[in-house]
């Protein structure tokens, strides 16, 4: 059994028209009117595929395909909201590939043992309402409904009001699940698969992320009469620290480190910078290694302070622990790809996805399709039709393996 690649691409093309940008991308912010139109189309397609559609109290849309057994379902999920001027594939691909799996099973007249559910998560991107992955986090119990409804956008409009305005505030009883296993197919958004010449990635988990705020205090002074040996230039110290963060990350396999934001004061051409604040983003699949990276950052900060006479404070203010996916689901995905003759590479996701929270709820895994030039969250985001087809076929096969086919014996445990 194979998915219908033409039908998948046609659905992607039609959905990408809603919120289309002149540059070939999509702007479809969560709970906007564009999001509503896209939801309406998705809902119609789900109903046409004979799915039983329900909407929960966070606006998550679930379409259920009955199995020969009732009870826990195998979920296939992603999101159709986008960032501003985002691409046509981030999120939409996972949702529409899951829809294509349902359509393919309908065409083949296959009944699975476990039910299958397709889920469109609300507000994955977190661009309009922070934080990201708000609705999956709420379903996993990380956020209360009050917290979710009270999130406001730039204009002070709340999540709760917008959810009602677009007509997608449903019932608590309509949340996805109960869940036997969770699968999320997504474009890679990075260069690993392209670099390896491999179409599909099997994702081991989502890396841990830790954010620190650095404050460097030196002495602001006139740029002319201050001889070099007598200066305490906060921005020179910051330059050493930025280079040092890069060194620290490069020295540890699998680590990445980024200084993405920096402010110098007073930020004037002829004044020695007296104060710098900057961010450090460190990521690694292993929690202890993440701590080692931060310890390295703290050592670096005190070395620079001693060398340059400034003070450097490191405040580690936020950490998202690494989330390894369930080995049995990761293996099921890898086996599915192998059975279809599709070559894969296993690696960790450097970005967050709804699967991170769902791993708290049920055994989960992700599948990646190769991204061209590793680009994402931009209009240039692209994956070839062949790679999208390969990823969707792995999703189909993995879902069948986990759900089982009526009347067939499988090696997968039930219960
Ligand atoms: Zn996404």
CA angle 72, 325, 414 (to 5 degrees): 30
The residue among 293, 279, 280 whose CA lies nearest residue 322 is 293
The partner residues of 26 in beta bridges, in order of sequence, read 20, 86
Give the pLDDT confidence score for residue 406 in this predicted structure: 87
Give the pLDDT confidence score for residue 415 in this predicted structure: 40
Instruction: Specify whether the CB–CB gap between 129 and 123 falls below 8 A.
Output: yes
pLDDT average per 10 residues of sequence, the chain (415 residues): 98 98 97 98 98 98 97 98 97 98 98 98 95 96 97 97 98 97 98 97 97 97 95 98 98 96 97 98 97 98 97 95 97 98 97 96 98 95 98 98 82 44
Domain boundaries, the chain: 5-206+323-403, 208-320
Give the pLDDT confidence score for residue 409 in this predicted structure: 56
Give the pLDDT confidence score for residue 413 in this predicted structure: 44
CA of 190 to the centre of ligand 1 (A): 12
The partner residues of 313 in beta bridges, in order of sequence, read 215
Report how far residue 77's alpha carbon sits from residue 93's, in angstroms, rounded to the nearest whole number.
10
Q: What does residue 333 show for φ and ψ, rounded to 5 degrees? A: -65, -45
Cα distances (angstroms) measured from residue 228 to each of 221, 232, 272: 12, 9, 11
Q: For residue 299, give both structure tokens.
A: 């050592």
Query: Residue 36: helix, strand or coil by DSSP?
Result: helix
CA of 285 to the centre of ligand 1 (A): 19
CATH number (3.30.360.10, 3.90.79.10, 3.40.630.10, 2.60.120.10) of 5-206+323-403 reads 3.40.630.10
CA of 194 to the centre of ligand 1 (A): 18
**Residues with CB in 5 Å of ion ligand 1:** 90-91
CA of 379 to the centre of ligand 1 (A): 14
CA of 155 to the centre of ligand 1 (A): 24
Q: For residue 409, give both structure tokens.
A: 């014996």
Report how far residue 74's alpha carbon sits from residue 115's, in angstroms, rounded to the nearest whole number.
6
CA of 309 to the centre of ligand 1 (A): 44
- Looking at domain 208-320, which CATH architecture does it have? 2-Layer Sandwich (3.30)
Instruction: Specify whether the CB–CB gap between 346 and 202 falls below 8 A.
Output: yes
What is the value of pTM for the model shown?
0.91
Cα distances (angstroms) measured from residue 373 to each of 24, 25, 193, 250: 16, 16, 10, 21
Give the pLDDT confidence score for residue 407 in this predicted structure: 76
CA of 243 to the centre of ligand 1 (A): 30
Report how far residue 173's alpha carbon sits from residue 339's, in angstroms, rounded to the nearest whole number.
37
CA of 323 to the centre of ligand 1 (A): 17
* Number of Cβ atoms within 10 Å of the Cβ of 51: 23
CA of 90 to the centre of ligand 1 (A): 5
CA of 364 to the centre of ligand 1 (A): 16
CA of 123 to the centre of ligand 1 (A): 10
């Amino acid at each position: 059994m194979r998915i219908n690649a033409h039908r998948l691409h046609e659905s992607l093309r039609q959905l990408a028209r809603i919120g289309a940008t002149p540059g070939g991308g999509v702007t479809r912010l969560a709970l906007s009117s564009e999001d509503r139109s896209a939801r309406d189309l998705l809902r119609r397609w789900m109903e046409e595929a004979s799915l039983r559609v329900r909407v929960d109290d966070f606006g998550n849309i679930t379409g259920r395909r009955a199995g020969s057994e009732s009870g826990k379902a195998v979920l296939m999920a992603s999101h159709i909201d986008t960032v501003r001027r985002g691409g046509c594939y981030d999120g939409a691909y996972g949702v529409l590939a899951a829809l294509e799996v349902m359509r393919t099973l309908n065409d083949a007249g296959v009944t699975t043992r476990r039910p299958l559910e397709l889920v469109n998560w609300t507000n994955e991107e977190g661009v309009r309402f922070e934080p990201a992955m708000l609705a999956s986090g709420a379903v996993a119990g990380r956020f209360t409904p009050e917290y979710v409804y009270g999130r406001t956008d730039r204009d002070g409009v709340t999540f709760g009001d917008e959810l009602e305005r677009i007509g997608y505030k449903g019932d608590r009883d309509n949340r996805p699940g109960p869940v036997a296993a969770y699968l999320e197919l997504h474009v890679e958004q990075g260069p690993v698969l392209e670099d390896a010449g491999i179409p599909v990635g099997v994702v081991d988990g989502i890396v841990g992320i830790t954010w620190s705020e650095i404050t460097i205090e030196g002495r602001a002074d006139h740029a002319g009469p201050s001889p070099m040996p007598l200066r305490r230039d906060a921005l020179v110290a910051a330059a050493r620290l930025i280079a040092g963060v890069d060194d620290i990350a490069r020295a540890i396999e699998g680590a990445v480190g980024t200084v993405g934001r920096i402010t110098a004061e007073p930020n004037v051409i002829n004044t020695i910078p007296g104060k710098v604040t900057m961010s450090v983003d460190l990521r690694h699949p292993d929690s202890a290694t993440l701590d080692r990276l931060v310890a390295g950052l703290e050592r670096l900060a005190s070395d620079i302070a001693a060398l340059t006479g400034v003070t450097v404070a490191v405040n580690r203010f936020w950490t998202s622990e690494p989330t390894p996916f369930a080995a049995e689901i990761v293996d099921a995905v890898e086996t599915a790809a192998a059975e279809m003759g599709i070559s894969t590479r296993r690696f960790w996701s450097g970005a967050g996805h709804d699967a991170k929270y769902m791993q708290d709820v049920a055994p989960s895994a992700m599948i990646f399709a190769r991204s061209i030039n590793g680009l994402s969250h931009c209009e240039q985001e692209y994956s070839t039709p062949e790679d999208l087809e390969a990823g969707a076929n792995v999703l189909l096969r993995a879902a069948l393996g986990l759900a089982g086919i009526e009347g067939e014996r499988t090696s997968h445990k039930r219960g």
